[in-house]
Structures are given as C-alpha cells and as structure tokens.
C-alpha cells in the first residue's frame, strides 16, 4: 500500500478541471493505493474507509460473484469502476436473506482507496465528485443491461451479446475484427451469463463454427456485426466499431 496522486493516474478526472485548479487538485487529491494479486479477495488489506467513497480501480480486472439458493450471477469490473470493499457487502445484506458474495482478481489489480479523509479533500472539487457519480451510475446501467442479457433463452445468444457489450468498453479494432483483450475463462463467462460451464463451452464452440467468436492468445476476437438483440436493449456505441470491422474485411 502506498501513496497515489489520483489525478496523475486518471486522465478523465484530470481533464475535468482547468488550470490552475487542476494543478492544485493534483497536489491535494492524494490517497492510498493497493495492488492485489490474482485470486480470491476478502477485502484485506484495505482499512476501514469510514464514510468515504470506496475503491476506484486504476488498472486490472476483477469479478464480483453473488449467489442466492446456489444460483450465481456475476459482474465484471475494470479500470475506472467504483466499488465498496467486501465487508460492505455483508453490512448491506438484507437480514432475512443469505446472499453469499465472492470477489476474485482475474489479473494483478491496483485500486485507489477513496476513504473519508480523501472524500473531505475531494469535496473542494464538485466536478470530480460528479464524474465519480457518473461512473457509479454507469456500473448500475451495465448491471441492468447484464440482467436483460441473461434473460435471453439461448446461452449462445447471451454469450454473443455479452462479448459485444464488453467490446463497447474494452474492444480494439483490428484487421480481422474486434479484439477483446480480456482473459475470461469459460468459468467466468458462465457466471456472467448465468449458465453452467459445460453449456458455455458448447455455446462458444457454436459461435466459433459460425465464424463469430474466436479464442486468441490475448483474449477473444469478434467478427461480423454486433447481434441485433443488443441494439434492442440499448443504443450502445458499437455501430462505429462494427463499421470499422466491415472496412477491414
């Protein structure tokens, strides 16, 4: 755990302020940062954040898994996402419902600890608070869209929609299609689409045979256009990406 000048590590936050306010905010908005290894996470070594904001992912990838009656769902979090430490999940759980929750780092992940003292310093810069609220709302919107995706009857359609949904945020245009540089195992994908791992493996095989999805060394390769079902759920910023893919063929 070490010090972190948040605005030096988050360009979007820095660009929200004009000079000389930006320079002053960069010096004042100092917090702690932690780096976690891949594997399950119980919230350590984060100290109590009090009435602070939470944790901000600076780099890396993690998954939050929630279960009810042995049925699990999951959400994927990465750079720019806000979260509360696992202890907060237990505190917020409904007293009448047991909700097992697990966190796992998929790759080495670094997070800024936005605790109560940091929140007090941040209060001088409402533009930054607004951006952090926007990010929390983005996570809420993504969760709602994920819920709509898993209501699709066929797992193959769920997977195709999920991968394109993730590509809207993390995808990169390449000569052969959209490269999604996320190392997501079949087990993680199964949680994200609320299915069993063998079913996901079979669905990925079907998508591969149709030439729509291919596993590559750096993650996944998506070809063709985004699934039409995804456009029905939300006006995602994937149309320009799809056009870029078309020009590469």
CA–CA dist 62, 142 (Å, integer): 15
- Tokens for 13, please give them: 């936050």
pLDDT at position 247, please? 40
Give mean pLDDT, residues 61-77: 82
Strand order across the beta sheet in which 178-180 lies: 172-173, 178-180, 219-222, 213-216
- Residue 44: the pLDDT is 84
Return the beta strands (E) in the chain as ranges.
2-5, 30-36, 39-41, 54-59, 61-68, 71-78, 82-83, 101-105, 109-114, 172-173, 178-180, 213-216, 219-222
How far separated are the first and last CA of the chain, in Å rounded? 47
What is the model's pLDDT at position 92?
53
Per-residue model confidence as pLDDT tens digits over 175-185: 889 999 998 99
Give the domains, in start order, of the chain with CATH numbers.
2-143 (2.60.120.10), 151-248 (1.10.10.10)
Cα–chain center distance at 36: 16
Whether the pLDDT of residue 244 is over 50: the answer is: no
Q: Does 245 or 59 have the greater pLDDT score?
A: 59
Q: To the nearest whole number, what is the mean pLDDT of the chain?
A: 86
Percent of the chain residues past pLDDT 70, beyond the cut:
84
Number of H helices, E strands in the chain: 11, 13
What mean pLDDT is predicted for residues 214-221?
Answer: 92
* Per-residue pLDDT tens over the stretch 102-121: 899 999 999 999 999 999 99
> Residues 129-169: pLDDT tens digits?
999 999 999 999 998 999 899 999 899 999 999 999 999 99
Phi/psi region, residue 112 (left: phi>0; alpha: psi -120 to 50; beta: rest), is beta
Cβ–Cβ under 8 Å, residues 50 and 115: yes
Determine the Cα–Cα distance for residues 227 and 164; give it in Å rounded to an integer.
Answer: 8
Residue of higher predicted confidence among 197 and 93: 197
Q: Is residue 201 scored above 60 in pLDDT?
A: yes
Give the confidence band of 228 by pLDDT, cuts at 50, 70, 90.
confident
Identify the pLDDT of residue 45.
Answer: 82
pLDDT range class, residue 248, cuts 50, 70, 90: very low
d(CA 166, CA 63): 13
Angle between helices 197-209 and 155-170 (to 10 degrees): 80
Q: Which residue has the tokens 């540089």?
A: 181
């Amino acid at each position: 755990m070490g010090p972190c000048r948040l605005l030096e590590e988050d360009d979007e936050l820095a660009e929200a302020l004009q000079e000389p306010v930006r320079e002053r905010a960069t010096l004042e908005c100092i917090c702690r940062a932690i780096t976690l290894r891949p594997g399950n996470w119980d919230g350590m070594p984060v100290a109590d954040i009090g009435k602070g904001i939470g944790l901000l992912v600076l780099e890396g990838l993690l998954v939050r898994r929630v279960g009810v009656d042995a049925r699990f769902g999951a959400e994927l979090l990465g750079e720019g996402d806000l979260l509360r430490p696992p202890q907060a999940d237990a505190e917020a759980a409904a007293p009448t419902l047991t909700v097992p929750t697990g966190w796992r780092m998929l790759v080495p992940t670094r997070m800024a600890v936005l605790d109560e003292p940091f929140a007090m310093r941040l209060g001088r810069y409402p533009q930054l608070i607004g951006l952090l609220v926007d990010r929390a709302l983005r996570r809420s919107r993504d969760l709602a869209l994920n819920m709509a995706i898993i209501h699709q009857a066929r797992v193959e359609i769920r997977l195709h929609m999920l991968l394109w949904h993730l590509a809207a945020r993390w995808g990169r245009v390449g000569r052969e299609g959209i490269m999604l540089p996320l190392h997501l195992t079949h087990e993680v994908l199964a949680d994200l689409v609320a299915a069993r791992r063998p079913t996901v493996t079979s669905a990925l095989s079907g998508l591969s045979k149709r030439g729509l999805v291919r596993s590559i060394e750096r993650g996944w390769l998506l070809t063709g256009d985004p699934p039409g079902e995804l456009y029905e759920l939300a006006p995602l910023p994937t149309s320009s990406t799809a056009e870029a893919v078309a020009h590469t063929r």
